[in-house]
Amino acid sequence: MLISSLQNIRVKQVVTLSKKSSERRKQGLFVVEGQRELMHCVGHGLKIHSLFICDDIINNVENDSWERLTSQQNVFHVTPDVYDKLAYRSGTEGVVAVIHTPDNSLSSLNLSDNPLIIVIEGVEKPGNIGAILRSADAAHADAVLICDPLTDLYNPNLIRASIGAVFTVPCAVADSDDCIRFLQERNIQILTAQLQDSELYYDTDMTLPTAIVMGTEATGLTNQWRDAAASHIRIPMLGSLDSLNVSVSTAILLFEAVRQRQQI
C-alpha cells in the first residue's frame, strides 16, 4: 500500500507518538527511525506494530532479517513528502517503524549470578541517558535502572543518542524506593558516586554483585540513595572543576568494574 497523503490517519499517529510522551504511554507504542536502530530493536525481541518505507530514500539492504520484516503485514510504502512528515530527524535511511512498548518493570529483568548494574536517578537529558546506555552495552552490564525519570525512555532523541543501545541493554523504570528494595533483596551492593564522604573508585571492590548509582550533575543524588549505599565512591578531579559529565563518569566507573572482574 502506498501512502501519499499527509492527512492519512497512520501518518498522524506516527507524528503524535514522536512528539508526545503521554501518547506513547497511553497507546503503548513508540517510534524508531533508521535501519540500524530498527534491526537492534527487533533483534532483541521487540514487536513491530507498523512499518513505513520510502523507496526513493531507503538504501538497498541485503539481509534475511530485513527481508522478513518487509514481507510482513502492516508494511506501508510512502512518498518522500510523507516520509519527511514522519521522520523526526534527517538521514534516517528511509524507514520508520511503530513499535510495541516492552515491559520495563523491575520484575522483567533477568540478572546474571554476579550482576553489574547502572542506576541513574533523575537524569533528564536524553543525550546523557543515551550515552550511558551505550557505555552499559559496551561493558556488557546486566541492566540500567532509571529511577524517578524526567525523560521518557522512548523519547526519539534518547533512542538516537543511544544508537539502539536502549534495545540491547535491559532497562527498567521505577521509583527509587522500589529500586533500592530490589537491589537489597538480591544482596547487590549499592555504590553511590558522590564527592562527599567518599573513597576513590579504584579502591572499591566491584567484583561483587554491584549497582553503581549516578545522579544529576547539578544536584547529585538524594539522601535516600546515599543512606542505602554500602560505599560512596568518587573519581579524582585534578583540575579546577569538581565534576565530569554524568555519562563520562558512568563510563569510567563501569570499566573499572570490568577491569576488576577480568582479573578475578
Tell me the per-residue pLDDT of 163-214, one tens digit each, with 9 for 90 and over.
Answer: 999 999 999 999 999 999 999 999 999 999 998 899 999 999 999 999 999 9
Nearest 5°: phi and psi at 136?
-65, -40
Euclidean distance between the first and the last CA atom of the chain, given in angstroms as a whole number: 57
Per DSSP bridges, beta strands 189-193 and 95-100 are unpaired
Q: Starting at the earlier edge strand, list the strands of the sheet with 29-33.
A: 2-3, 75-78, 48-53, 95-100, 29-33
pLDDT at position 116 is 98
Domain segments of the chain: what residues?
2-100, 106-262
Average of per-residue pLDDT values in the chain? 91
- What's the mean pLDDT in 247-252? 97
pLDDT at position 247 is 96
**CATH fold group of domain 106-262:** Alpha/beta knot (3.40.1280)
Task: Write down the residue that cell numbers 536502530 correspond to.
Answer: 37
| Residues 159, 162: Cα–Cα separation, whole Å | 5
| Residues 101, 122: Cα–Cα separation, whole Å | 21
pLDDT band at 109 (very low <50, low <70, confident <90, very high): very high
pLDDT at position 261 is 96
CATH code of domain 2-100: 3.30.1330.30
| Helix axes of 126-138 and 246-262: crossing angle, nearest 10 degrees | 10
Task: Tell me: pLDDT of 226 over 60.
Answer: yes
| Residues 203, 8: Cα–Cα separation, whole Å | 59
| Residues 43, 165: Cα–Cα separation, whole Å | 12
| Residues 144, 169: Cα–Cα separation, whole Å | 7
* Per-residue pLDDT tens over the stretch 33-64: 988 888 899 889 999 999 999 988 776 555 56
pLDDT at position 127 is 94
Task: Write down the residue that cell numbers 511503530 correspond to.
Answer: 98
Could you tell me which of 88, 95, 98 has the C-alpha nearest to residue 126? 88
pLDDT at position 64 is 61
| Residues 191, 211: Cα–Cα separation, whole Å | 6
- What's the mean pLDDT in 21-33? 95
Residues 191, 233 contacting (CB under 8 angstroms): yes
